[in-house]
């Protein structure tokens, strides 16, 4: 409370009023002192004049009794301390009275000193003849008592006025300043609490967001790695399909050469027929493999469209495509070997040339179909590779966006932490304001 603004204002007000009242009090004190001294001086002159007039007759008649009565009557004024009447030529006083310690009138045995009293001396004259002198001594203690009472009155007025002003200012300051400021301080305190609470909540959410974004970034890296692996596998698959297509074309050329050599087949037509049947079976196997490869290529295209969610499945499909392509290559190689055997047998079985010619026509037709299938597989693989490249680019953009989101989340976390710190500082300022206004109940 001592450090509050209300206490300080009241202290300044009390000191100001006290100084002003003391200044006016000192002025009143000195003015009253001058006034009372002047009045007492005038009263002393009047008393001296009156005493001189009244003592003329007793002194003329040497009537000590009457002189004593006049002195006692005059000393009825409590301000009169002593009276001394002397004849003109007399060394001893004609009559002399003074007050004792109890302020009673008594005979004065010793000479009266005027150091502490107001002294007046007046000639006693009768019919133009000087008869003597009268000395009066007036005490100053009544003036001192009045001045003391005046000082007490000033102090009491100052205390009373200070008390009234302090009470009034206490009421006014509390009503006009303290309560509104305390109410605002309370509102600010509540606001700072809410801000701190919201900042803490935002900070928690941002922390979770940062952690989740980091986990997502890690997962995206793994997915991106899987997609790259799938892309490499698809490229290899496309290359294998191209190689298989090349081998098929080579086989087609070899079939053409075999067709030219059919005229020499006359001796081993039966064996040629069996070889042709085996060749037909192998071609059918190649046909089945090509069909399955086509289905797997379609599945690979579907998986490429959903590469972000099923990258691992695409890897399995691509592997199967590669296996089937290898089987097709093996079947083509077997076919080539059989064809070579067939050519040899044709050379030894020229009698069966016509029938072998029909069989080779079918083989060439199947080979062309295989060629078309491998072309389709190669085209699908290339399309798949392009789609995966597009997916890679999309994942790159997603990865950039994810990292940007992480950075923004970190920035938001820093902002929320700074907001929490500012709310704490605002709460401290409000507490300082409450201590300053000195309203403890707030």
Q: What is the pLDDT of residues 8-52, one digit of tens each?
A: 776 777 788 778 877 877 787 788 788 888 888 898 899 899 988
Q: Is 341 or 223 the better-scoring residue by pLDDT?
A: 341
Q: Which residues contact 335 (CB under 8 A, 6 or more apart)?
A: 251, 279, 282, 283, 286, 363
pLDDT, greater one: 82 or 308 = 82
Q: Count Cβ atoms within 10 A of the Cβ of residue 300 and give its class: 0-12 exposed, 13-18 middle, 19 or more buried.
A: buried
Q: Which of 159-173, 343-357, 391-405 has the lowest mean pLDDT?
A: 343-357
What are the structure tokens assigned to 396, written together?
Answer: 């790159």
Q: Which residues pair with 350 in a beta bridge?
A: 265
Distance of CA 262 to the CA centre of its chain: 96
Mean pLDDT computed over 324-332: 69
Query: Measured between alpha carbons, how far is 333 from 322 in angstroms, rounded to an integer?
Result: 16
pLDDT at 217: 66
Give which of 318, 323, 325, 440 is closest to 387, Cα–Cα.
318
The whole-number average pLDDT for the span 237-244 is 71
Which residues touch 117 (CB under 8 Å, ≥6 apart)? 81, 82, 137, 138, 139, 140
For domain 216-416, say whether CATH 3.40.50.2300 is its number: no
User: How many CA atoms within 13 Å lie on the side-chain side of 218?
Assistant: 5
| Pair of tokens at residue 407 | 């950075």
Ramachandran bin of 202, using left for φ above 0, alpha for ψ from -120 to 50, beta for the remaining angles: alpha
Kindly give, in sequence order, each residue whose CB lies less than 8 Å from that of residue 432, ignoring residues fewer than 6 positions away: none
Task: Give bridge partners of residue 133 from the DSSP assignment.
Answer: 86, 123
pLDDT at residue 164 tops 80: yes
**Beta bridge pairs of residue 138:** 80, 118
Paired residues of 119 in beta bridges: 137
Burial class (CB in 10 A: 0-12, 13-18, 19+), 151: middle
User: What is the percent of the chain with per-residue pLDDT over 90, rounded to a whole number?
Assistant: 3
DSSP assignment string, 238-292? HHHHHHHHHHHHHHHHHHHHHHHHGGGB-S-HHHHHHHHHHHHHHHHHHHHHHHH
For 386-408, write each residue's pLDDT tens digit.
777 787 787 678 778 777 876 87
Q: Where are the domains of the chain?
A: 5-176, 216-416
Could you tell me the pLDDT band of residue 332, with boundaries at 50, 70 and 90? low
* CA dist., res. 331 & res. 279, Å (int): 10
CATH architecture of the domain with range 5-176: 2-Layer Sandwich (3.30)
pLDDT band at 267 (very low <50, low <70, confident <90, very high): low
Do 350 and 265 contact (CB within 8 A), yes or no? yes
Instruction: Kindly indicate the confidence band of residue 314, based on its pLDDT and cuts at 50, 70 and 90.
Output: low
Write the Ramachandran bin of 110: left for phi over 0, alpha for psi from -120 to 50, otherwise beta. beta
- The band of 442, judged by pLDDT with boundaries at 50, 70 and 90, is very low
Whether the CB-CB separation of 322 and 233 falls below 8 Å is answered with: yes
Reduce the secondary structure of 311-336 to three states and give it as a string: HHHHHHHHHHHHHHHHHHHHHHHHHH
- Mean pLDDT across the stretch 353-362? 68
* Cβ-contact 67, 93 below 8 angstroms: no
**Spatial CA neighbour of 378 closest among 246, 271, 211, 217:** 246
Mean pLDDT of 61-75: 89
pTM beyond 0.75, yes or no: no
């Amino acid at each position: 409370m001592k450090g509050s603004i209300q206490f300080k204002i009241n202290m300044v007000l009390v000191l100001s009023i006290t100084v002003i009242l003391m200044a006016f009090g000192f002025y009143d004190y000195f003015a009253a002192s001058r006034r009372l001294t002047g009045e007492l001086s005038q009263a002393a002159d009047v008393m001296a004049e009156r005493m001189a007039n009244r003592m003329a007759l007793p002194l003329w008649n040497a009537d000590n009794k009457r002189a004593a009565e006049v002195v006692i009557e005059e000393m009825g004024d409590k301000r009169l301390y002593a009276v001394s009447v002397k004849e003109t030529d007399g060394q001893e006083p004609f009559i002399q009275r003074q007050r004792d310690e109890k302020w009673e009138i008594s005979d004065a045995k010793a000479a009266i000193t005027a150091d502490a009293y107001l002294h007046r001396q007046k000639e006693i004259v009768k019919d133009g003849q000087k008869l003597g002198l009268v000395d009066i001594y007036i005490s100053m203690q009544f003036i001192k008592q009045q001045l003391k009472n005046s000082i007490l009155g000033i102090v009491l007025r100052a205390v009373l006025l200070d008390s009234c002003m302090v009470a009034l200012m206490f009421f006014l300051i509390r009503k006009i300043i303290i309560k509104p400021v305390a109410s605002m301080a309370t509102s600010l305190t509540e606001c700072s609490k809410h801000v701190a609470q919201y900042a803490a909540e935002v900070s928690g959410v941002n922390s979770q967001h940062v952690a989740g974004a980091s986990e997502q970034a890690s997962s995206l890296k793994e997915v991106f790695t899987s997609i790259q692996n799938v892309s490499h596998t698809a490229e290899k698959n496309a290359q294998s399909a191209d190689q298989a297509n090349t081998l098929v074309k080579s086989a087609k050329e070899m079939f053409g050469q075999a067709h030219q050599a059919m005229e020499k087949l006359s001796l081993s037509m039966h064996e040629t027929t069996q070889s042709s049947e085996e060749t037909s079976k192998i071609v059918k196997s190649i046909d089945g493999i090509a069909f399955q490869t086509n289905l797997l290529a379609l599945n690979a295209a579907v998986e490429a469209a959903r590469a972000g969610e099923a990258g691992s499945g695409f890897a399995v499909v691509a592997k199967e495509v590669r296996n089937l392509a290898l089987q097709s290559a093996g079947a083509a190689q077997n076919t080539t070997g059989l064809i070579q055997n067939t050519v040899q047998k044709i050379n030894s079985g020229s009698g069966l040339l016509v029938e072998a010619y029909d069989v080779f026509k079918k083989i060439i037709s199947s080979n062309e179909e295989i060629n078309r299938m491998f072309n389709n597989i190669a085209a699908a693989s290339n399309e798949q590779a392009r789609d995966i490249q597009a997916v890679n680019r999309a994942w790159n953009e997603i990865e950039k966006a994810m990292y940007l989101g992480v950075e923004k989340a970190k920035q938001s976390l820093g902002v929320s932490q700074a907001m929490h710190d500012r709310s704490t500082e605002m709460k401290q300022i409000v507490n300082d304001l409450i201590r300053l206004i000195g309203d403890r109940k707030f």
